[in-house]
Amino acid sequence: MQIITDRSQAPTAIRTNLGAIFVSLELSRSTWLITSLSPGGGEKMSKHTVRSGDVAGLRARLSQLKDKVQVRTGQVVPVIVIQEAGLDGFWIHRLLQDERVESHVVDPASIATSRRRRRAKTDKIDGEALVRALLAYKRGEPRVCAMVRAPTPQEEDRRRICRERKTLTAERVEHVNRIKGLLFAQGISDYEPLLRKRRERLEELRTGDDRPLPKHLKAQIGRELDRLELTLQQIKSVETERDAMLSPSDEGTPAPGAMLKNLKGIGPEFAGVLWSEGLFRSFSNRRQVAAYAGLAPTPWRSGSVAHEQGVSKAGNPRLRTTMIQLAWLWVKHQLRSMLTLWFHQRVQSNGGRVRKVLIVALARKLLIAFWKYVTAGVVLEGVETTAA
């Protein structure tokens, strides 16, 4: 069946009496598209383009919009700005807030779009859609979009420690694998680049056909070792900063990250990721905690059809990956924990075939338990600490 719709009378916006200038910012590397809807200007949205990073041009445009509204209506109205969360981060949002402009950052995936196979997508269309979403949000329509809570500069800077360590660890693996690959092609498979005597051991190596290492190959491996040693030094420095972050702020007052580290099976890296990536935020209920990590279930129910599609994965991927890794370690180290017993009971009742599915459910339950532990001090039953 072909559906024919009449778009000739479709308005570009919805009339509102909120008495404000609604502005959306479409940000790219080259230009910023400023789309606005002003009181007294009808339903037509005006568009203005400035060069990317031109803060002065943005200020001038917002000031010009306010002056035009004042001339038309004789009133001074506020400006409300919306932008998508993306590559530009939150510095524009903070800049607008410092200038007392109401600013919002929206999750772009939460804005409803056409489900047609081929739909038009341009900066102009996206800018108008952002303005309409902002209008509906300010009217109080529930779940029209999801606004992002921007972290403070201190919170944003703190989480870089664990992220940098993960990057450096990946670089360490690359250097080690490259060195081993070069030597394996010469018949050498017992060289460990991470040992302390790696330089001395390199001088003693002989190829599989009993020849000394070729001159250029030895020089290349030496340069790889230089980069490897620099990476190891940087990892040590980052871990020192991480341990300082997890240390108690005041004598006798444990930091939330230190509280997690005291649980058996959770090391400083896991504790740092859990705290800096998620648990430092304020959540209203356990559903928000699970949804932020992308561990919330996504049911599909329509009429007689009812089945689960798995977790949404629409959350913090670093936190979700860490929690699933931690869930496997939790089952291994916290044998008397109530959640461990629940996991084994469910696995046995299903014949041991759903371990990977249940481990995700365990990760969700663990994250909620950690949230209650660091915020309210609620200790999970049967949990062992490192002191014990």
pLDDT at 387: 67
Measured distance CA(221)–CA(89) in Å, rounded: 39
DSSP helix/strand/coil, 106: strand
Asked if 313 and 290 touch (Cβ cutoff 8 Å), the reply is no
Token duo for residue 113: 């779009």
Asked if 102 and 53 touch (Cβ cutoff 8 Å), the reply is no
Give residue for tokens 């919805």: 14
Query: CATH code for 21-150?
Result: 3.30.420
Measured distance CA(51)–CA(56) in Å, rounded: 10
CA dihedral over 155, 156, 161, 167, signed as positive or negative? positive
Asked if 124 and 33 touch (Cβ cutoff 8 Å), the reply is yes
pLDDT at 20: 92
Measured distance CA(367)–CA(222) in Å, rounded: 44
Measured distance CA(183)–CA(187) in Å, rounded: 7
Measured distance CA(229)–CA(109) in Å, rounded: 42
pTM attached to this predicted model:
0.83
At 8, is the pLDDT very low, low, confident or very high (cuts 50, 70, 90)? Answer: very low
> To 5 degrees, how large is the angle CA 56–CA 77–CA 26?
45
Q: For the chain, first and last CA: distance in Å?
A: 69
Asked if 270 and 260 touch (Cβ cutoff 8 Å), the reply is yes
**11-63 pLDDT tens trace:** 444 554 668 999 999 999 999 999 999 988 777 899 999 999 999 999 999 99
Q: Say yes or no to pLDDT of 1 above 50.
A: no
**What does the domain layout of the chain look like in residue ranges?**
21-150, 157-246, 256-302+309-376
**174-228 pLDDT tens trace:** 999 999 999 999 999 999 999 999 999 999 999 999 999 999 999 999 999 999 9
